[in-house]
Amino acid sequence: MERGLDVRKIISFVMVVMAVVVVMAGIMTSDTVGVKVLQLSQWYSLYFYGAVSLLMLAVAMKISRGVIVSALTWGILAIVVVEACHGLLQLYGNVLSGHVMFGMTGSFYNPGPFGGFLALGVPLVLDRYYAEGNRYVRGLALLCGMVIMCVLPATMSRTAWVAAVISVLAVLVSHGKLRISRRMILIILSSFIFVALLLFVVFEFKVASAIGRFHLWHISLLTILEEPICGHGVFGPAYAEAQERYFSVMDKMSLTTHGASCPDYAFNEYLHYAVVYGLPLVVLVVVLSVVVMLQGYRKGCQGLSGVMTAVGIFSLASYPLHIPMFVAVLSLSIIGILLVIIDKQKLLIFSFIGLALVGLMVAYKMEPQIEVNRRWDKIHYLYHNKMYDVARREYEKILPQMKENGIFLFEYGHILHNLATPKQSNNILMCSMEKIGDPMVLNIIGKNYMQMGCSDSAKYYYRKSICRLPSRMYPYYLLFGLQFSEGDVSGMKRTKSIIDKPFKVESTATKEMRSEVSEKMDLVKTKQ
């Protein structure tokens, strides 16, 4: 009987590991035409392969429930190690990275999220080292840790380092390897002071980045205060409008201005979702997550709880919940903990089956959208190559399916602008403005009003664009051109004084704009 039980445990263990590999490999190897469909394809893979994995977990739980937590831990750790090996190959130039500006990104777009994902493996390594009784298995855990630590420092992700350290401390305390005494409290406080000083030094090396991040959080808080209960429903436009109001009364050429941007994320998931859904919902989710995490530490799921801790810390200065791979690992960790703290096996099995069916339905609904995004990706070159007549016809064909995509609407509106149909262009761009916060939308709307002879409306949108993102020269250049056409000499002088100052991004285009502005100013002076 004991031997038969061991076989059942082995079968269950293998099935769970396979379930983890299935969902993660599905995300990592998502078939895509280009970047515009990549993340959508990854979300589709998460729902589809996640549903398959849930069904496999349900079967594994029916066979033998006792090994699922261990299997989930090893399965997630294996994926993190694969990512680390991927990063090593990129580091030595054997594999191309996911971004032209960075040598190492793993399967991600930049080193930040990659570092955060590697940090998830550190508490898992420590947990397996203390939880496993076999010395060879413990040696395997250490080997996994060595591979991860060879890559994690090279990502230069400060938040990932902090997430790894705090999650490790939590696992050590939970395993009884770190006792909290007065002396330990002093050590922890000293460590925090050291980390603070270290972060200060790092801050000095990345001043612009840090200032930009603090400004982003500041504006996000202001955005939350406008709709604290129900939220705004969307982040980008709400944030952009709040920043626009902020800079309308602040110094537009301050150091803060150079760090400003109009992002799609708050680089703090708590602030981001508070902007979108309101504070009450975010507080509720955080409280429930903390309860599950603490129960996991108490019930022997230290590694999976460590993953939750690392994701929670990393979420303070990044956007992991917008990345399918993070969501997959976090979901698997929560599932593993729930398997331990909930005794009713039948309820869990039926819940897994129900969630799997929901996942399959969502994946089925997403498939047509992926197909239309693939089509958009294929015709995208028409827009960039300025083949506007052909692009217009192709964009019109998929417009009914892409009405919720702000970037698509901007491109289509820009095409209509270049084809000298300003009224139609503005109709599309006004819809785009409700979905994205990019100030370039305001610039094109202003130019459309100039084509229609509505200079006051054009001036209004140029100034909105300036207040939304003062670190960009282009709206000042457009405003100067309007003032030149109106003969507003005093306005031209004020605008030129700003254009002459250094901007966040200096390029050939900014030099050309300055040169044109100077020539027009000289022409006005000559006439005077």
Express each pLDDT in 289-344 by its tens digit.
Answer: 999 999 999 998 999 999 999 999 999 989 999 999 999 999 999 999 999 998 88
Whether 221 and 271 have beta carbons less than 8 Å apart is answered as yes
Give 277-329 as a 3 state SS string: HCHHHHHHHHHHHHHHHHHHHHCCCHHHHHHHHHHHHHCCCCCHHHCHHHHHH
Give one DSSP letter per residue of 19-34, joined into a string: HHHHHHHHHHT---SS
Please report whether residue 526 resides in a domain.
yes
8 Å CB contact between 452 and 422:
yes
Task: Count CB atoms within 10 A of the CB of residue 13.
Answer: 21
Alpha-carbon distance of 478 to 438, in angstroms, equals 16
Number of domains in the chain: 1
What is the amino acid identity at position 188? I
pTM: 0.88
The two tokens of residue 63 are: 């066979």
Cβ proximity of 47 and 366 under 8 Å: yes
Residue 511: inside a domain: yes
Closest CA to 419 of 442, 396, 398, 440: 396
Contact 415, 388 (CB under 8 A): yes
- The reported pLDDT for the residue numbered 101 is 75
Q: Which residues of the chain have pLDDT under 50?
A: 1-5, 200-201, 204-205
Predicted local distance difference test score (pLDDT) of residue 242:
93
Residue 235, SS3 per DSSP: coil
- CA distances 308 to 290, 301, 399, Å, are 9, 11, 40
CB 127 within 8 A of CB 76: no
Amino acid at 213: R
Q: Which domain holds residue 522?
A: 473-528
User: Of how many residues is the chain composed?
Assistant: 528
Domain assignment present for residue 250? The answer is: no
List Cβ neighbours of 418 (8 Å cut-off, separation of 6 or more): 386, 388
Q: How confident is the model at residue 187, as a pLDDT?
A: 61
d(CA 262, CA 266): 10
CA distances (Å), origin 84, targets 17, 129, 163, 394: 18, 19, 17, 41
Residues 410 and 436: beta-carbon distance below 8 Å:
yes
**Contact predicate 308/341, CB 8 Å:** no
In a domain, residue 212? The reply is: no
pLDDT score at 2: 44
Does 110 map to a domain?
no
Contact residues for 297 (Cβ-Cβ < 8 A; gap 6+): 170, 174, 305
Residue 257's pLDDT is: 65
Coil/strand/helix, residue 445? helix
- In-domain check, residue 124: no
**Residue 393 to residue 241: CA distance in whole angstroms:** 32
For residue 488, tell me if it sits in a domain: yes
Are 107 and 325 in contact by the 8 Å Cβ rule? The answer is yes
Report angle CA 168, 206, 310 to the nearest 5 degrees.
Answer: 20
Amino acid found at 74: W
Residue 1, pLDDT score:
38
Position 143 in a domain: no
Which structure tokens are listed for 464? 């909105």
Q: pLDDT value at position 343?
A: 84
Residue 28 has a CB neighbour count (10 Å cut-off) of 19
Contact 230, 237 (CB under 8 A): no
Interatomic CA distance for residues 107 and 109, integer angstroms: 7
